[in-house]
Each structure stands twice: as structure tokens, then as C-alpha cells.
Amino acid sequence: MGTDTPDAAHRSADQWEEIRAPYGLTVPVARRPDNAGAETLKSISRKRHLMRETMVALKDQAFSPDRVKRLQRRWRIGQVADMVGRTPQAIRDKQREGKLRRPESPRAYTLEDINEIRRVFGTLPWRAPDEEPVVLAFQTFKGGAGKSTLAVHFAQYMAIKGYRVLFVDCDPQGSASTLFGAHPALSPEQLLGSGQDELDYSLEEYLSNLFDEFSKCVRSTYFTGVDIVPAGLTLNNADYYLAAEVSSNPELINRLQSGIHQVWHEYDCVVLDPPPALGLLSLSVMNAANGLVIPLKPTVIDFASTWQFLEMSYDNISALNARGLPPYYHFNVFVVNNLNDAKSAHLEITQGMRQMFSEEDMISAMMRDSAEIDNAAKEMQSVYDLNEAMTTREVHSRCLRYLDRLNSEIEVRVRRTWPSHTQALRKAARI
């Protein structure tokens, strides 16, 4: 080939056209109608309006009659006694003395009732006032790993146990906010009867430096013991703002952490649900957290994605260290999620991980794939919301066992950070 012949990397579009033409390889240029942009917008707009109307209809159906979500679940006196750590008779005695409210029936105890019983008997499991709350991020950057589902169920599990929980939804998709009945797009007027207009103060605006009181972002929820900072699509704007401003103001990476520190004295645990990406929002979450749970579906693709997540996390944490913003995690652990025992690949990967990682690296309990979670989500419910099975009683009970075992292990890791819980953990042989 002559020296004046360009190589493939330097051929112009016209030169490529001349080469392709004799072989009939010329690529025709698509002709676009003059109104192509308007037609595309029209098509997308029709789809988005139909889907929004469907979501609003599902919400109205699930939260009828007044379109506000409430916790319908009730507990029997025997279950309450186990939860409180006292006998049914001891509870009845306090009721006769007038120190406790008597519910309508022995099967009708609410979570508010249970926490009042804990208060009377002194069995609320709160951390000591001088101990640090655990700020726990359920983090990965692959969608479909189930991080939001795990985060919501963990927050609710902790509330059922009597802890005070703040859930901070940092995912613009707002999946967790939807499960809490708090998605801004579905609750445009008022959020959960809090008396605050949700448009006034949002996480997006706080992270974008428009106001400084993080408490203005916090809302109560229907689930006793859980408050929420909800998220919606506008949270993407905060990611753009952080990306544009952080080079000149590195302290912006600390803004989420600083906001949480303003209010964390009111809680035992703060649960963070970041977006499935490693942008500035996710970096803010990693900096704010002091505990990390990494959900992993037992497939080769998810395993590879988690490896890449750890590679990028290492680089990002190194960058934070270099800027004098070193994150510290009391623990960082893998959780196997959506395990299907009928799939040999799932079992092999899970077994391989158990051999590869220590007990400190990995939660031993696994969350198996369950139709109960999917069916509950269809009604905008979590499994912990349910008074009765959405599938069968057996499937429901099995799903609750999986969730309780998994969340119990994470709870123990949380409690290990509090010296005031050491004696009780030793007594229960959990340390």
C-alpha cells in the first residue's frame, strides 16, 4: 500500500463511501419528517401520562378510602409478649392497673400499642444517648440487585423491633418512597398527613444549597417508628449541581453527612438508599454512611458488576481520603439477594462466595426469591405491611423467615457498635 493511502483510522466519511459503493454497502441516510421531534415528544408524552395515571390509580386503590397509606398490620397478644420480652399475663396486669390501653381484641395490637408497652416495661431497644447512630447504606451500582427492597424491609424490621429509624431516599427513581406511599409525583399536595407541602423543602434543594435545615426535608410516615426524606426525579438536578460545583467546593460532598448529623440524635438508625450508579449522589452517600450493605444477586453478571462497583468504590474512597474526607464503616458486608435454589448457577456462586469471604465480609442468611415480595409490591406494600398472605400462608411465612433472619444479622452488627448493648448481645451469644 502506498505511503499516501490513509489508514482506516484516518479515512474521511467520503473516502469510506467510495470504498463501500462498488460492493453495494452504502448506508442510506434516514430521511426524517420535518415534525419528527414533535411527533416523538407526542408519543413519549402519551405513554408517560398513561403510566402516571395507572400509578395514581394503583395508589388510590391501595390506599383507599382517603388515599393515605396506613399500617394495617396487627399483632396477637402472644406475639406482642415475645416482642416486648414480657409474659401475656404481665401485659394484662398493666392493662388492669390502667397503665396500658386495652385493644379491642387480643389480636388487634398496633405497633403504637407495642411501643407503648415497651416504654412501660422499659424494653425499648434504643441506643444510649451518647452513642452514635448507625448510618447504613444499601449500595451497589447495578439496577435490579434489590437494594431498595432490602433497604425498605430492613428499615421496617428495625421499626417493628422498636428502634427509631430515618429513611433517606437518595435514588431519583424513588422506588423506596413509593413503597412508603411518599413518592412526590404520587403525593403532590401533601405527604402522609404531615401538614407540610412536600414541594417546599426537598432533598434536591438541600443538596443544592438552597437552605440549611435538613429537618425540613424529613416527613413522618404511616409506619410507626420510620421517618423519611423522600425522593423523586428532580433529585437528578442535585447530582448535576454537585458535579458542577464540587471541584471548586469539595465540602459539598459532606453536605448530606452534615444534614444527617443535624437530626441523627433523634434516631437509632439511618437507612440510605442511593441511586444505582457511582455519581456525586452516590459518593455523597458513601461519605455519609458509617455502615455498608452490598446486595448481590448470585449470577456471573451481577458478580462482575459488584467487582466493578468495588473497584470504583476503592478509587472514590481514595479520592475522598486525599481530600481529607475519609469515610469510616463499622462494617461493610455482602448480602446474597434473590437466590433461586432451583438454579444450580445461583447455588454454585453462593457457595463460592461463602468459601471466598469471611463471616465478617458476608451476611450468612440469604434472601431467596419470593413471589410474596412481588405480589405485595404490586399493591404498593412491603411484606412487613401485610396482615395476611398475598400468595399462600406457607409462602408468606417462609418469606418472613428469610427477611427476619437476614435483617436480624444486620441488626446485630448495628447493635455491636453500641457499648450499651454489649452485655445483652453476650447473653444472647451474638458476640
CB-based contact 235:256 (threshold 8 Å): no
Three-state SS letters, 126-189: CCCCCCCCEEEEECCCCCCCCHHHHHHHHHHHHHHCCCCEEEEECCCCCHHHHHCCCCCCCCCC
Place of cell 431519583: 172
Cα distance between residue 232 and residue 52, in whole Å: 13
* Phi, psi for 426 (deg, rounded to 5): -65, -40
pLDDT at 194 over 60: no
Q: What is the DSSP string of 324-354?
A: T-----S-EEEEEEEE-TT-HHHHHHHHHHH
The reported pLDDT for the residue numbered 190 is 40
- pLDDT digit string, tens, across residues 208-267: 999 999 999 999 999 999 999 999 889 999 999 999 998 899 889 999 999 999 999 999
420 neighbors 127 (Cβ within 8 angstroms): yes
Model's pTM, two decimal places?
0.86
Please return the burial class of 4, using the count of CB atoms within 10 Å of its CB with bins 0-12, 13-18 and 19+.
Answer: exposed
Long-range contacts, stretch 191-197, CB < 8 angstroms, 24+ apart: 191/219, 191/230, 192/68, 192/69, 192/219, 192/220, 192/221, 192/222, 193/68, 193/220, 194/219, 194/220
Please give the C-alpha separations between residue 338 and each of 74, 135, 367, 368, in angstroms, as whole numbers.
Answer: 28, 24, 6, 5
Show the cell assigned to 187: 403525593
Which grid coordinates are listed for 288? 455519609
pLDDT at position 242 is: 93
Lowest-confidence region among 60-69, 236-245, 367-376 = 60-69
Map residue 65 onto helix, strand or coil: coil
Q: Which residue do the cell numbers 434473590 mark?
A: 338
Q: pLDDT at residue 160 above 90? A: yes
Residue 185: other Cβ atoms inside 10 A: 14
Boundaries of every domain in the chain: 51-124, 134-427
pLDDT in tens, 87-135: 999 999 999 999 999 998 888 999 999 999 999 999 999 999 999 999 9
Smallest CA-to-CA distance from 411 within 398, 430, 397 is with 430
The candidate with the shortest Cα–Cα distance to 66, out of 181, 234, 153, 196, is 181
CB atoms near residue 397 (< 10 Å): 12
Mean pLDDT of the chain: 87
Q: How far apart are CA 21 and CA 13, in angstroms?
A: 12
Helical (H) or strand (E) element with 256 = helix 255-263
Residues 306-352: pLDDT tens digits? 888 888 888 888 887 887 778 889 999 999 999 999 999 999 999 99
Nine cell digits for residue 330: 463499622
Percent of the chain scored above 90 by pLDDT?
A: 61
For cell 447493635, what's the residue? 415
Topology of domain 51-124 in CATH is: Multidrug-efflux Transporter Regulator; Chain: A; Domain 2 (1.10.1660)
What pLDDT, on the 0 to 100 scale, is given for residue 364? 94
pLDDT at 324: 79
Per-residue pLDDT of 394-423, as tens digits, reads 999 999 999 999 999 999 999 999 999 999
Confidence of residue 25 (pLDDT cuts 50, 70, 90): low
127: left (phi over 0), alpha (psi -120 to 50) or beta: beta
Quickly count: other Cβ atoms within 10 Å of residue 91's Cβ.
22
> Percent of the chain at pLDDT above 70?
85
Nearest to 270 by CA among 103, 431, 127, 74: 127
What is the second-level CATH architecture of the domain 134-427?
3-Layer(aba) Sandwich (3.40)
Give the C-alpha separation, 82 to 104, whole Å.
Answer: 20
